[in-house]
Structure 1
Amino acid sequence: MWDWFSAPGYWAARFAVQHLLAVAYLVAFASALRQFRGLLGERGLTPIPRYLARVPFRGAPSLFHLHYSDRLFAGVCWVGIAGSVLALVVDFAPLWAWIVLWLLLWLLYLSIVNVGQVWYSFGWESLLLEAGFLAIFLGPGSLAPPAPVLWLLTWLLFRVEFGAGLIKLRGDSCWRDFTALYYHHETQPMPGPLSRSFHLLPRPLHKVEVAANHGTQLVVPFVLFAPQPAATVAALVVVATQGWLMLSGNFAWLNWLTITLAFSAMGSWLLRWVTPEPPPPAAPPPWFVAAVLVVAVVFVVLSYWPVRNMLGRRQVMNRSFNRLHLGNTYGAFGSVTRTRYEVIIEGAAAPNGEWLAYEFKGKPGDPHRRPPQVAPYHLRLDWLMWFLAISPSYGRSWLPNLVEALLRNEEHVLRLLRHNPFPESPPRLVRAQFYRYRFATRAEHRETGAYWIRSRIGDFVPPLTLEDLE
């Protein structure tokens, strides 16, 4: 009776999507727990209470409109972590319990994202929420995966890849002349341990990388909707490409989520190694069938806005068209910066004292430090520092507060950094210097041990004291 609704041949695909998505939720809630006090807490750089005072519930639906405290935010994170672990280990559960668990994860993370302000303005936040909402209706292992939900997950993957491909072709000539990766590995927001090696590859290989990217994002997404085994092959191409991106840089959980979505298009004939075949599934209850069909219709309607955006001449990246972050548009690096700039923050104990640099956990600073592996964890302040180097306007809401926090040695803010050169007492002055960075050549690295070569451009923020800020 339910042959048209169920997809029993995708039981392993559902298993993979469920578990990879649970890991993404786990990382997201852990990231929020470790960083929120310095970024968003009552004494953070952009405090949530101030935001809630000027933005109504309709403008940012969140549980925190009922009440906010740092203790409550931490509690939400811990509940999200526990729920993510539960979703990771529980495969068989009553249908109602499955729905409640995944709905809870979605509601909690939506509440965080909608008060996260500039720190949560990245595309992978909306991608996690959209994929997480669809996971509510995937159902437990006792039921066959619902085909409409698998199609919606594949459609989401299509929008992620095809939208990213279109924005590259439209946004920057270097994608059209195949020179984008002459620069990207060096100028990307958060280089990883292998980024320098990728950057130093011969330029003809960089052109091959761009060509492969265009093929994966502009051609392969259409094959995801083809009959098997073509759809599985297309999904494997996506997985391989995302794995390459994970090796070449730190993009939080964007690549992880894209790989997660790719599994929704893979037949269980390939994924039998993932999990044993379950017993014959039970028939889905009529109310569940009706709920899935309603969700499918809603997403068809919501798809109008991202499709219009992709087909329009003024395509934008990473836009949510509603406050629930459903039916979003995606994309990355529609323009590629040719030169890397860094803002280096320094402090001095006295007006004529030595200037000492604050080191960040992920972003380039000390030229002799190799870029670390961070992803899928997301260092939010480090990412915003990359945007700050592009334009001071990106720091308008938080940079003055960061300077003040350093002048006061605010503990919660200092925890966002790797090294505080003034552990005993706060500095008298803080300034920010502007540098140009480039990767060291192989010869320069052998001679100096440096991974970066930098040259000072000038002041970004002049020396300031607490009295200056007041």
Structure 2
Amino acid sequence: MEWFAAENYDAGRIVLQRGVALMYLVAFVAVLRQFRPLLGEHGLLPVPGYLDRVGSRAGPTLFRWRYSDRLLTAVGWLGVALAVSLLAGLPQEGPPWLPLAAFLVMYGLYLSVANAGQVFFGFGWESLLLEAGFLAAFLGSEQVAPPILVLLLFRWLLFRVEFGAGMIKMRGDPVWRNLTALYYHHETQPMPGPLSWFFYHMPRPLHKVEVAANHVAQLVVPFLLFLPQPVASVAAAIVVLTQLWLVLSGNFAWLNWLTMLLAFAAVGDDQLAALVPALGPALAGGPTTAGPLWWVVLVIVVTVGVVVLSWWPAKNLVSEHQAMNASYNKFHLVGSYGAFGSITRRRSEVVVEGTEDEDPATATWHEYVFRGKPGPVDRWPRQYAPYHLRLDWGMWFLALGAPSQHRWFTVFLVRLLEADLRTLRLLARDPFEGRRPRWVRARVFRYRYTTADELRRTRHCWVRHEESELVAPHSLEGLRGVA
């Protein structure tokens, strides 16, 4: 079984197992903090009603048996406990079935959450996290060498993420082909970060260099991941560097962070020790055995299963009608990935306001401030990734006119009129400090970054002006009938 055991990838396994566990920890913390106000029994899109409507079409979920906020909390805390144990490396110290069980239970718990999450969990990186967690279950423990087959499956996952993103760009918006995409993207991306203003204001020729470099990183480098060392490690390093650039320039939840972790499936111990000599002694003397027969057979069966399921994403990669993010089964395994096949040219934001005055026509209105999305023009963007602010992302899609967002948004306005504490905790600032407003409204504003001169004069990051009214002033009685 010498071919089965990858003796030069102990560091890669450590990073993959602990890194994926860290991303699950972030995801389950977000579940505990956000799921109930968004999707709970009294949420914006309650899970019980959704599961009653769609039945088995939702996919496998523990909540089909029954949903309660208490059960959701138990699922979240169990997920946190498992993620912490794997992050600390405790199951990895035992036989290979122990981390196998821990990762699979964690995967199953998050699958239950994601399949009930509707539009608030309708992101490609949900499937990416699920698939990475499933594969991490088969990396083994410290008693066996990392299976080379599983490392190759991780590289295949990374290939689909990177090459899929590259192809969707080339097939999609012409600004990717003429290298002008970053003339717009840093300003119009869903959730800018603290450095996005500076990235946007870099010279335009440098923006073209960025786009060209991105095409190389996503269309050429992924093929190098499957070549012998040290080429594979060099390719992985390029992936990590390009993803770090994206981390610095915006907030994309755990997408970039998880992609960097996947790259370590191609990083050899020898190459890592050559780069950081101090790690050499720690990486020496790792396990060399393939493990018990049942373990070898299980990994081979899983590998064959992934190869069979790969037909659909492979076909998608070469299709002229490539889907940007797609799952081909209800378990979110072996899917298609990609991002920003089209670039928004201008930024619109929905601004939500309330007032305690009796007459909305003459009222003084006060703005609700969200945590991550642009709001008051003097508020500089924060860094939240890899944490995922689901309400803020929903507000970005709402401003784009996505019809799927309007149903929950009406309920959201009702919750503001009710001064619902759980909903208000999703925000950065409630202008009424827990009191009920008499009226709420929503207006659409056009946003743009300030120029360097405007920033010096005003200290403001944004300039905005009103474009339209999305929701006229409504009272609680008026909106409850609509919701």
Assess if the C-alpha contact under 8 Å between 2:269 and 2:283 holds in 1. no
The equivalent residue for 2:168 is: 167
The equivalent residue for 2:210 is: 209
- CA-CA distance at 1:422 after TM superposition: 1.6
Assess if the C-alpha contact under 8 Å between 1:149 and 1:292 holds in 2. yes
Deviations 1:135-186 (A, max 9, x none): 1110011100001100000000000000000000111000000000000000
Q: Match of 2:116, as an amino acid?
A: V
Q: Match of 2:366, as an amino acid?
A: L
Deviations 1:207-251 (A, max 9, x none): 000000000000000011111100100000000000000000000
The equivalent residue for 1:133 is: 134
Q: What CA distance in whole angstroms lies between the structure 1 residues aligned with 2:377 and 2:61?
A: 42
Assess if the C-alpha contact under 8 Å between 2:110 and 2:130 holds in 1. yes
The equivalent residue for 1:286 is: 293
Q: 1:392 to 1:121 in 2, by over 3 A?
A: closer
1:381 to 375, 391, 394: 391
- CA-CA distance at 1:455 after TM superposition: 1.1
Q: What CA distance in whole angstroms lies between the structure 1 residues aligned with 2:299 and 2:338?
A: 27
Q: What CA distance in whole angstroms lies between the structure 2 residues aligned with 1:95 and 1:424?
A: 51
Assess if the C-alpha contact under 8 Å between 2:230 and 2:271 holds in 1. no
Assess if the C-alpha contact under 8 Å between 2:192 and 2:250 holds in 1. yes
Q: What CA distance in whole angstroms lies between the structure 2 residues aligned with 1:397 and 1:277?
A: 57
- CA-CA distance at 1:279 after TM superposition: 4.4
Q: 1:457 to 1:59 in 2, by over 3 A?
A: closer
How many residues are treated as equivalent by the alignment? Answer: 469
The equivalent residue for 2:18 is: 19
- CA-CA distance at 1:425 after TM superposition: 2.2
Deviations 1:325-346 (A, max 9, x none): 0010000000000100000000
Please say if 1:437 is aligned against 2:447. yes
Q: What CA distance in whole angstroms lies between the structure 2 residues aligned with 1:136 and 1:15?
A: 12
The equivalent residue for 1:117 is: 118
Q: Match of 1:455, as an amino acid?
A: H
Q: What CA distance in whole angstroms lies between the structure 2 residues aligned with 1:178 and 1:288?
A: 48
2:355 to 333, 343, 348: 348
Assess if the C-alpha contact under 8 Å between 1:13 and 1:271 holds in 2. no
The equivalent residue for 1:244 is: 245
Q: What is the correspondence of 1:394-405 to structure 2 with a 5 Å cutoff?
A: 394-405=404-415
The equivalent residue for 1:363 is: 373
After alignment, is 164-173 or 97-106 more displaced? 97-106
Q: 1:424 to 1:11 in 2, by over 3 A?
A: closer
Q: What CA distance in whole angstroms lies between the structure 2 residues aligned with 1:243 and 1:81?
A: 26
Please say if 1:28 is aligned against 2:27. yes
- CA-CA distance at 1:397 after TM superposition: 2.8
Q: 1:178 to 1:283 in 2, by over 3 A?
A: closer
SS at match of 2:60: coil
SS at match of 2:272: coil
Assess if the C-alpha contact under 8 Å between 1:384 and 1:394 holds in 2. no
- CA-CA distance at 1:271 after TM superposition: 2.9
The equivalent residue for 1:301 is: 308
Q: Match of 2:472, as an amino acid?
A: P
Q: Match of 1:425, as an amino acid?
A: R
Q: Match of 1:115, as an amino acid?
A: A
Deviations 1:297-339 (A, max 9, x none): 1111111111111111111111111110001000000000010
TM-score (norm 2): 0.95
TM-score (norm 1): 0.98
Q: What CA distance in whole angstroms lies between the structure 1 residues aligned with 2:57 and 2:448?
A: 45
Deviations 1:399-451 (A, max 9, x none): 11011111111111111111111224211111101111011111001111100
Q: 1:455 to 1:52 in 2, by over 3 A?
A: same
Q: Match of 2:118, as an amino acid?
A: Q
The equivalent residue for 1:96 is: 97
SS at match of 1:456: strand
Deviations 1:79-117 (A, max 9, x none): 111100100112311222121111111111111101011
Q: What CA distance in whole angstroms lies between the structure 2 residues aligned with 1:371 and 1:22?
A: 28
- CA-CA distance at 1:282 after TM superposition: 3.6
Q: What CA distance in whole angstroms lies between the structure 2 residues aligned with 1:57 and 1:95?
A: 33
Q: Match of 1:162, as an amino acid?
A: F
Q: Match of 1:442, as an amino acid?
A: A
Q: What CA distance in whole angstroms lies between the structure 1 residues aligned with 2:196 and 2:339?
A: 18
Q: Match of 1:335, as an amino acid?
A: S
The equivalent residue for 1:157 is: 158
Q: What CA distance in whole angstroms lies between the structure 2 residues aligned with 1:155 and 1:279?
A: 25
SS at match of 1:55: helix
For the aligned residues, what is the CA RMSD? Answer: 1.2
Q: 1:161 to 1:420 in 2, by over 3 A?
A: same
SS at match of 1:396: helix
After alignment, is 355-364 or 9-18 more displaced? 9-18
1:415 to 425, 450, 460: 425
- CA-CA distance at 1:377 after TM superposition: 0.3
Q: What CA distance in whole angstroms lies between the structure 2 residues aligned with 1:314 and 1:57?
A: 28
The equivalent residue for 1:254 is: 255
